A and B are shown apart, each in its own frame.
Chain A
Amino acid sequence: MVSIDGILANSLSLFEVCFFVHGIGALMLLGYIFLRGGGRVRLGGAPLYVYAVGFMGVALVASSSFCSNRMGAALTMAVSVAGQMAASALVDHFGLFGVPVIRWNWRRLPPCLLILGGLALMLW
């Protein structure tokens, strides 16, 4: 997906790419809901922060297209994975979104250093 979006970003602006990525997905989902889900679209009733997902989705598509076009898909994915590991550790450490708390501890330092070493190798 990231790579195809990156190619599309050669012809369109980042937000135009986002428009097509989300628009095509929305049409497919609406088709599914009307064909298989009984045609009931229900968008209300979720916690308020759920309605920020659209902003995050646009940010994700725009940033991955922006980066993969300039530094390659492999490096983009590797750095993004490092970001995911860091965010996951924070979510676990503080028990965000209701997940059980798993405190960060020093035993997780060596794998983190290994990830940083891998990134350093790719960057330099």
Chain B
Amino acid sequence: MPLLVTVALLNGAVNIINKMVNVVAKQSLGMANGTLINYLEGTLIALVLALGLGDRHLVDPGYLGSIPLVYYLGGFFGLVAMVLTIKGMERVPVAVSAVVILAGQLLAGFVMDAAAGRVGPKELAGLCLVGVGVWWNNRQSLAGAPAKEETTAPG
């Protein structure tokens, strides 16, 4: 469990850096091209790593075809989430977009686990505490922000 918690924490940290860099990419190249870099590089890196580590499912069309099509939709949802995040960070006050994005992630995690019957009262209470903490932290962060300026980073 300590390893999983550490990896999930790092996931969150990289998530923020990734968002900031994507905003810079979008400013430099435009929305579509800035996002395309992320996906093209990711495709190539993942392909090299998968084949380099000896994973052979990618060269087995029969096996890939046996997996339900809906399971491949993660890329679609990821792209939609990334575009909405960048758009949201542009148009909505950062204070609002940061809390909405984080609350959305918590809610999505809860819904998925609830659907699988893996959420009890303890997990629900924990998620609520984290959600309130996120909102409270954001208020405190805004109190310390320079007047009439907006940050591009949540928190």
Contact = CB atoms under 8 A, between A and B. Distances in A.
Contacts of B10: 63, 83
A8 B110 contact: no
Contacts, number: 378
B81 to A, nearest CB: 6
A1 B74 contact: yes
Interface string B11-32: 1111111101111110011101
Interface in B100-155: 102, 105-106, 108-110, 112-113, 116, 118-119, 122-123, 125-137, 140-141, 143-146, 149-155
Given A80-B105, A108-B141, A100 B149 contact: yes
Majority secondary structure, A binding face: helix
Contacts of A114: 129-130, 132-133, 136
Contact of B112 (A3, A43, A71, A83): A3
Interface of B: 1, 4-5, 7-18, 20-25, 28-30, 32-47, 49-50, 53, 55, 57-58, 67, 70-79, 81, 98, 102, 105-106, 108-110, 112-113, 116, 118-119, 122-123, 125-137, 140-141, 143-146, 149-155
Given A84-B12, A85-B12, 19 more contacts: A2-B108, A22-B43, A28-B79, A29-B35, A55-B41, A64-B8, A66-B7, A68-B112, A84-B154, A88-B154, A91-B16, A92-B141, A92-B155, A102-B141, A112-B137, A114-B136, A118-B133, A121-B129, A122-B123
